[in-house]
């Protein structure tokens, strides 16, 4: 039911801001846990896992929504490189919004601790471990855990030091230098671009 509106639909906006808030909270939780004694860190990391799996589920919904609904066309004033960069960053985001939680899920599944501390989804149910990883023999499990941990850290770095700054700087450039109201495409109470 999409029209040629110049802004994203309410559903797309809600999902965008919910996922963005959970991702930023998750980075803050992981960084804070790093500085804390073990007992406090475990509590913070339990929330990190819950939020991370929530990002995975919400991002899958968002991807389906994105593929089944037209997004507002990019403004005609954008240069070719701006269009390409926006598309690359947006699709790379989708890759990481799904890939990052998957690698987190893999790294905790490849650990004997998953049997003692399962991933608790807001006290409602336990998110299962990835069977083939949780049932590896101990020597292989350690290697798998370390590999997925490295990939998780690497993807987190690409997100934190690459995509998020590019995305925010891009949004601010359009808003304040180009003055094309691009933020209004994604922020409901702002003026929509023409
Ligand atoms: C971790 C945080 C964030 C993630 C993962 C994220 C992800 C995304 C993605 C995937 C899109 C493309 C939507 C689509 O076409 O399907 C998008 C669009 C957008 N985001 Fe974000 N975003 C984040 C934070 C922010 C922040 C902090 C701002 C504001 C400064 C922002 C402003 C926008 C705007 C204005 C658009 C529309 C761009 C356009 O199509 O012209 N985002 N975001
Ligand atoms: C939105 C999704 C996620 C983001 C943005 C994220 C981000 C991060 C970051 C920034 C770190 C710290 C990396 C470092 O110290 O260099 C981290 C560590 C960790 N993450 Fe995630 N994560 C996400 C999802 C998950 C999920 C779904 C799980 C498990 C179910 C998970 C489990 C872990 C664990 C156990 C660590 C600590 C590993 C270690 O440093 O030894 N993460 N994550």
Q: Check which CATH number belongs to the domain holding 30 and give it.
A: 1.20.950
pLDDT (tens digit per residue) in 68-124: 999 898 888 889 999 999 999 999 999 999 999 999 999 999 999 999 999 999 999
Domain count, the chain: 1
Give the residue among 63, 71, 52 at the shortest CA–CA distance from 3. Answer: 71
Q: Is residue 192 part of a domain?
A: no
**CA-closest residue to ligand 2 atom 16:** 153
Q: How far is the CA of 179 from the centre of ligand 2 (A)?
A: 37
**CA-closest residue to ligand 1 atom 13:** 90
Distances (CA, A) of 90 to 35, 73, 136, 140, 168: 32, 14, 36, 36, 12
Q: Is residue 14 part of a domain?
A: yes
Q: Is residue 172 part of a domain?
A: yes
Q: Specify the residue for token string 């913070």.
A: 44
Ligand 1 pocket (Cβ < 6 Å) reads 16, 19-20, 23-24, 66, 71, 90, 93-94, 97, 164, 167-168, 171, 182-183, 185-186
Q: Which ligand is nearest to the CA of 111?
A: 2
Q: Is residue 144 part of a domain?
A: yes
Ligand 2 pocket (Cβ < 6 Å) reads 23, 26-27, 30, 34, 45, 48-49, 52-53, 55, 100-101, 104-105, 107-108, 119, 149, 152-153, 156
pLDDT (tens digit per residue) in 62-71: 999 999 999 8
Q: Is residue 1 part of a domain?
A: no
How sure is the predictor about 170, in pLDDT bands with cuts at 50, 70 and 90? very high
Atom of ligand 1 nearest to the CA of 71: 15
Residue 85, Cβ neighbours under 10 Å: how many?
Answer: 15
Enter the tokens of residue 25. 């909270």
Q: Is residue 93 part of a domain?
A: yes
pLDDT higher at 73 or 161? 161
Across 186-191, average pLDDT: 88
* Domain that residue 114 falls in: 10-185
């Amino acid at each position: 039911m999409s029209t040629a509106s110049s802004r994203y639909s309410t559903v797309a906006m809600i999902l965008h801001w919910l996922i963005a808030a959970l991702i930023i909270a998750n980075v803050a939780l992981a960084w804070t846990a790093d500085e804390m004694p073990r007992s406090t860190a475990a509590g913070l990391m339990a929330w990190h896992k819950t939020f991370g799996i929530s990002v995975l589920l919400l991002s899958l919904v968002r991807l389906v929504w994105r593929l089944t609904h037209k997004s507002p066309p990019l403004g005609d004033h954008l240069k070719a490189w701006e269009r390409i960069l926006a598309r690359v960053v947006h699709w790379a985001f989708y890759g990481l919004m799904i890939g990052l939680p998957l690698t987190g899920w893999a790294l905790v599944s490849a650990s004997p601790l998953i049997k003692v501390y399962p991933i608790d989804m807001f006290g409602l149910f336990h998110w299962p471990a990835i069977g083939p990883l949780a049932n590896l023999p101990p020597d292989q499990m350690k290697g798998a855990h370390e590999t997925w941990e490295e990939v998780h850290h690497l993807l987190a770095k690409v997100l934190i030091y690459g995509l998020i700054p590019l995305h925010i700087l891009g949004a601010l450039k359009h808003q304040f230098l180009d003055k094309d109201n691009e933020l209004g495409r994604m922020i409901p109470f702002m003026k929509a671009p023409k």
